[in-house]
Amino acid sequence: MPRTESRYSEVRHVLLRILFLNLVVALAKIVFGQISGSISILSDGFHSLTDGASNVVALVGLRLAQKPPDANHPYGHRKFETLAAGGIALFLLLVVVEVAQAALARFRSGGAPSVTASSFGIMLATVAINIAVVRSERNAAKRLSSELLLADARHTQSDVLTSMAVLAALVGSAYGFPMLDPLAALVIVGFIGHAGFAIARDAARILSDQTVISEEDISRVVQSVPNVLGCHHIRSRGAADHVFLDLHVWLDGATPLTEAHAVSHAVKDLLMERYPQIADAIIHIEPPPKELR
């Protein structure tokens, strides 16, 4: 199996495992939230449910992203993976609105949740599962260089933090402070909002073609190639593991075409050796500016 197909297959298997665990966690929280009347547990359950929804979005995006280049998409379909990460950020925004509304409604109406040993047990068990999920997904994201898995891990990380806030609220409610329950829900809003901002920022960086590899680093490598006099107009874009690069390389104006062509290949080969994440590099050969001749 080619390396790219193998990578997509591994990412897909990771997401399917995470989807199953997220659905189990979400169902447990929602059921116990309804039974106990705890707005914080219920809100955390819906937050976990969006973890599962984001997994579905990621799987759809991944299926589109692995399609090979075609006549209409000569650069491939990798940005669909980034769009899927942006979809996760959108789900987080929806959760922020829902949780904030539920918490404010509880502040207005009052009421206290029913705190039991089972409530604590469920929350502790789901926290343990989420911690294991985050560690596993982060390791897979690094190993596979996938911004999609990294974004999803950040989402699940926010679930760990919100669950800790829920546990604190349950303790407070047990000691006679029921307003800690909706207060914890507002804390959840902050956690989710922060995670959503980070994911949206990273997706925007890729979609807006922000520089991926610094010009100084590229220039240093290029100028180490024999007969190269310099370079400029260096541009890089794409995801961290799938970069497109183009630049202008200066050669002596009297250099024969065949030799200039060979130098351009040497530059490209060296760049792709030093930076394996480069998917393609376009080298434009030209004489140096008059002031440098």
Q: Where are the domains of the chain?
A: 3-207, 215-292
Cβ neighbours of residue 218 closer than 8 Å, sequence gap 6 or more = 231, 234, 236, 245, 247, 271
Stated length of the chain: 293
CATH 1.20.1510.10 fits 3-207, yes or no: yes
Q: What is the mean pLDDT of residues 204-221?
A: 92
Confidence at residue 232, expressed as pLDDT on a 0 to 100 scale = 93
Q: What is the mean pLDDT of residues 145-155?
A: 76
Tell me which CATH code domain 215-292 carries. 3.30.70.1350
Question: Quick check: helix, strand or coil at residue 246?
Answer: strand
Confidence at residue 2, expressed as pLDDT on a 0 to 100 scale = 44
Q: With contact defined as beta carbons under 8 Å apart, do 246 and 213 qualify?
A: no
Per-residue pLDDT tens digits for 58-114: 787 777 766 778 888 888 777 877 887 788 788 778 878 877 887 787 777 776 666
**What pTM value is reported for the model?**
0.67
Report the alpha-carbon angle 40-44-49, nearest 5: 150
Spatial separation of the C-alpha atoms in residues 90 and 99, rounded to whole Å: 14
Spatial separation of the C-alpha atoms in residues 229 and 159, rounded to whole Å: 53
Spatial separation of the C-alpha atoms in residues 251 and 59, rounded to whole Å: 47
> Which pLDDT band holds residue 5 (cuts at 50, 70, 90)?
low
DSSP element (H, E) containing 217: helix 215-222
Candidates 114, 119, 135; CA nearest to 44 is: 119
Confidence at residue 86, expressed as pLDDT on a 0 to 100 scale = 82
Candidates 45, 38, 35; CA nearest to 178 is: 38
Q: Is the pLDDT of residue 201 over 80?
A: yes
DSSP element (H, E) containing 238: strand 230-239
Q: How far apart are the first and last CA of the chain?
A: 50
Q: What are the φ and ψ backbone dihedral angles of 73, each rounded to 5 degrees?
A: -135, 70
Q: What is the mean pLDDT of residues 200-215?
A: 89
Confidence at residue 1, expressed as pLDDT on a 0 to 100 scale = 37
DSSP element (H, E) containing 69: none
> Which pLDDT band holds residue 186 (cuts at 50, 70, 90)?
confident
